[in-house]
Structure 1
């Protein structure tokens, strides 16, 4: 039965379920392939890169199908692919079945994540900034819940992890079947035509913002890959490193609901929110340049998290505000594509720079790259508004 509009509670629940299910699988990839399947770290890195590449393709496909086909079958397609891939992993998780199912799951995840953000643009009962803030909160809450559960379930066997992920994706599929079939306003034009693209005068600043997002995710990935080895090089432990992500998760869970209380003010000052958030991102790497003691890494992570909760949800809000009504899915697809692309190449770029120079070069480069990109975006944005 077709509904008049998407209910926020089901949209938020879908984001929570999806991100919890994803977090059962992606953190284990390198460890599982290296320790259980006895493949090299290089092979594990290549598999992760291919998985990210297919997620990028899924992001674009999700936005394209959302606009050109229909939202309802698009998100069902993505969830079905996720369900089939994780269901297959329950029975076949050796080599090469594991990486093949992982790639299918990455493609499905790409479609689902773009579809959820695109569905958010259809919500009329609340401002888009509020919706994207809560979606970001739910996605991080899902990651926290998922990684916590993995710690308890993994000792029982990897099969149980895949069973849990499969059960969650099937649950989301059931929710989507009953509650995501909503009425969508008719498009007035072909969203891929050059004439329609030319009608959006905000495309240059949207592109500059997306490039800033891409660079930001490249730098963010240093935290999830190369900074762990840097901390161990300084004499710290893996436990010290994992505690940083606990701090990150707790701060996000605490800060994001607080931001929603000031949603009207933040929406009215959206450009300030974006610029400040990205500058805080850059500042966290500035701290790392002189970081040697553990407290300095905690400080850098806290600054990074403040920047994250300010900037990342605001990107989707900005793109939604300045994208044509008949291309909402396509533009949200762009947001996911640029973010996924940054995540895909970030670890490799960082590793190459570290091997050629040093960790501090990465930290200095990350600081300068973000500041330069956000300065170009802010300058262009100010000019166009004037």
Structure 2
């Protein structure tokens, strides 16, 4: 029986991990600095010896020694350069670990508060034969979460933070406001990127995210948001907050089915949120949750796609919900954002997917957000 750690023990464990990683990074930075200093000294010495070898001709003996020293220093320089590259790779790996540590996965007790849903997982052999899927490890899940975070940050930066005009003859960006949502969509060939943002008041974001998580587990509920979906099956349960699914989406075109295999995960997170109010343009730290969807690599079976009626759709999606406090007014509000990137092979399908995604978000608001707001209003009236 696994003993559950207390909150204090978990926090102490995190602090120890963070302090250990901080000392490791500090030591590596010191070693890297020492190597750079040594490399600079060696390059300086190498230059001096090279200069002497060309300007002084004091006999064959000295020339031979200079050439030998030059070769030796050249070899040492190559070795140090290799070590520096290795150090850089270590630092990158440590940064990935730190990034993942900053993304706290829901603890078991929190997620168990959500309603239980019976999820039928298909046989592992069938998953491999039909979808080319091999079970993911915890390390694979970690990498998928990091990949999703990187893709989502890229989309957000491109559509919201860039000061450049990102439209071109091959791409089109639409910006508009509808039903209180700030909507940005960009289509470039088969790629569709989007960011939908809206603020709410008196909303329990944990309840909203748990309901969204639960509704995405079954085809019947999933279709209420993405109506064109006609197949949704679970391929693997990694843990209580991460499942792998496959879904088939109908398309009224030459490609009749778009299939995706993706990991769906729920994590607790913090994020810098822009206030964008008349009083302030600054950012504050919001705390809340992210429900992510990230395509996973599979061994694609070719026989099933021989007639060209089936295509694979790549997904990198996120629903974010954060509690935000305006420091100027002490007002608390809920920052809700849908954003992501999909690849549906051609511009025609990307445009159709842009429309379907926007409609799906509005259906989600009516299905999940509206009842929660009505409940709060009714409670206050009572």
Verify same fold: TM over 0.5: no
* TM-score after normalising by structure 2: 0.25
**Structure possessing the higher relative contact order (Cα contacts under 8 Å, 6 or more residues apart):** 1
More helix by share: 1
Normalising by structure 1, we get a TM-score of 0.25
Higher-strand-fraction structure: 2
